[in-house]
């Protein structure tokens, strides 16, 4: 779906999420949201915060799992996804802190495998992800599933692509300060979500959006796997859609 601009598109996504939250509330059930970081989802979170403050949208029945986190990184670090999520969403709504899950960038290396398996299992224990938000990296990554990621991959420790580390330099200041690794949900974890929204805004995303939507499905463009998902929407502004 192509929108004139990212603000309008983001409001539409936020409204869909709010509707789903409210429907589950009426049924006395929880809802599981898979959340993304980066610049792409910021306006969606702004709109959800606005709805909480102005329209009484409650997050008491919301369980969240974030896609990824740098490794290693402390939650207090300026660039941590814990800090990002608190600043953009969690600190401003009534979500129950115990319901928030973000991969832990401080897990000792020898325990990472076990930690990732537990993260994956916890998602299943909550009944799986109802709505998954995604951005897309210029490498075609979703979460931090870089080129070479397999379709059956689950939550795990990964090595970041050089292009991703270059793009992250704007946040870290110097490229040598960007972590080499990250913990990310896998392609299989994402594909299990019942509904997926991938957002892309701006000209710089147009070439990778074209490959992800119209190109071959394979591990060189991990986002291309989404073509096989039964309920996925690519939400684009005009600039990101210009090569389709």
Residue with Cβ nearer ligand GLP (90 or 140): 140
Residue 14: CB partners within 8 Å, gap ≥ 6? 44, 47, 48, 51
The H-or-E segment that residue 234 falls in is strand 232-237
* Binder of ligand GLP out of 34, 38, 105, 186 (CB under 6 A): 38
Interface with ligand GLP includes 186 (CB under 6 A)? no
Count of residues binding ligand GLP (CB under 6 A)?
Answer: 13
Identified catalytic residue from 55, 87, 146, 175: 146
Is there a contact between 100 and 85 (Cβ–Cβ < 8 Å)?
Answer: yes
Q: Check residue 34 for interaction with ligand GLP (CB under 6 A).
A: no
Which range, of 8-16, 35-43, 94-102, 103-111, touches ligand GLP by CB under 6 A? Answer: 35-43
Q: Is 98 a catalytic residue?
A: no
Q: Where in 58-87 is the site for ligand GLP (CB under 6 A)? A: 67-68
Would you say 185 and 101 are in contact if contact means Cβ atoms under 8 Å apart? no
Give the strand order in the sheet containing 68-71: 68-71, 181-184, 156-159
CA distances from 225 to 39, 110, 114, 212, 238 (A): 22, 31, 26, 8, 23
Nearest one of 27, 51, 38 to 199, comparing CA atoms: 38
Residue with tokens 């008491």: 60
Which region, judged by CB under 6 A, interacts with ligand GLP, from 5-13, 36-44, 45-53, 229-237? 36-44
Q: Does 39 bind ligand GLP (CB under 6 A)?
A: yes
Please identify which residue in 3, 21, 31, 37 interacts with ligand GLP, judged by CB under 6 A. Answer: 37
**128-167: which residues touch ligand GLP (CB under 6 A)?**
135-137, 143-144, 164
Which sequence positions are flagged as catalytic?
146
């Amino acid at each position: 779906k192509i929108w004139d601009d990212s603000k309008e598109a983001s409001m539409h996504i936020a409204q869909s999420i709010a509707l789903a939250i409210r429907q589950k509330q009426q049924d006395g059930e929880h809802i599981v949201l898979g959340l993304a970081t980066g610049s792409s989802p910021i306006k969606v979170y702004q709109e959800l915060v606005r709805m909480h403050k102005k329209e009484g949208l409650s997050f008491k029945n919301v369980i969240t799992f974030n896609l990824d986190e740098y490794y290693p990184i402390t939650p207090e670090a300026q660039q941590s996804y814990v800090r990002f999520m608190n600043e953009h969403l969690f600190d401003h709504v009534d979500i129950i802190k115990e319901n928030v899950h973000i991969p832990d960038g401080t897990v000792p290396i020898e325990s990472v495998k076990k930690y990732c398996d537990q993260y994956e299992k916890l998602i299943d224990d909550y009944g799986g992800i109802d709505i998954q938000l995604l951005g897309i990296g210029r490498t075609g990554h979703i979460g931090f599933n870089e080129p070479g990621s397999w379709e059956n991959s689950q939550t795990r420790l990964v090595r970041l692509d050089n292009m991703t580390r270059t793009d992250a330099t704007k946040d870290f200041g110097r490229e040598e300060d960007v972590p080499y690794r990250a913990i990310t949900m896998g392609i299989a974890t994402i594909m299990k979500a019942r509904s997926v929204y991938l957002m892309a805004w701006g000209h710089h995303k147009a070439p990778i959006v074209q490959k992800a939507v119209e190109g071959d499905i394979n591990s060189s463009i991990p986002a291309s796997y989404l073509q096989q998902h039964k309920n996925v929407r690519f939400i684009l502004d005009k600039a990101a859609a210009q090569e389709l």
